[in-house]
Amino acid sequence: MLNAHIEERQFLPVGSPLFDEDGYLVSHEDWNERLAAQIAEEEGVGPLTEKHWRVLNHMRDKFYRLGALPNVRRICRETALSRSEIYELFSGCLSAWRIAGLPNPGEEVRAYLS
């Protein structure tokens, strides 16, 4: 269980070798559930539930299989969650992107998603 490891965590600051200057994971190979839980806490999302993991795993799968993320409507349909449920789970699209360990989407996408 992820919560059992919370006391052991050490938050890694933006700009550390794992993160770029905007706070995105540099290498997706460094991502794991424990790191995702740490990022979620830093983002103010709270403990990750089964619904969070459903969205995060779906985002990661689509991104690494297709090289892009599907739109929110498709995420809703494929995770069986409503748009409002997804927005309640995460503080925003960029927060979900960071927690999922996806690479920096670039300035234009960040502006669009914020």
Position 83 in a domain: yes
Tell me which DSSP letter residue 6 carries.
G
Is 103 part of any domain? yes
What is the pLDDT at residue 36?
96
**pLDDT tops 50 at residue 2:** no
Q: Residue 76 contacts by C-beta under 8 Å, 6 or more apart in sequence?
A: 82, 83, 86
pLDDT in tens, 55-75: 999 999 999 898 887 788 889
Higher pLDDT, 110 or 11: 110
- The model's confidence at residue 16, banded by pLDDT at 50, 70 and 90, is low
CATH of the domain at 87: 1.10.10
Q: What is the pTM of this model?
A: 0.79
Instruction: Give domain status of residue 43, yes or no.
Output: yes
**Are 55 and 79 a contacting pair, CB within 8 Å?**
yes
Q: Is the pLDDT of residue 34 over 80?
A: yes
* Structural domain includes residue 46: yes
Share of the chain above pLDDT 70, in %: 84
Number of domains making up the chain? 1
Q: Identify the domain containing residue 58 by its residue range.
A: 30-113
Higher-confidence position of 99 and 11? 99
Residue 86 lies in a domain: yes
Task: Decide if 101 is inside a domain.
Answer: yes
3-state secondary structure of 53: helix
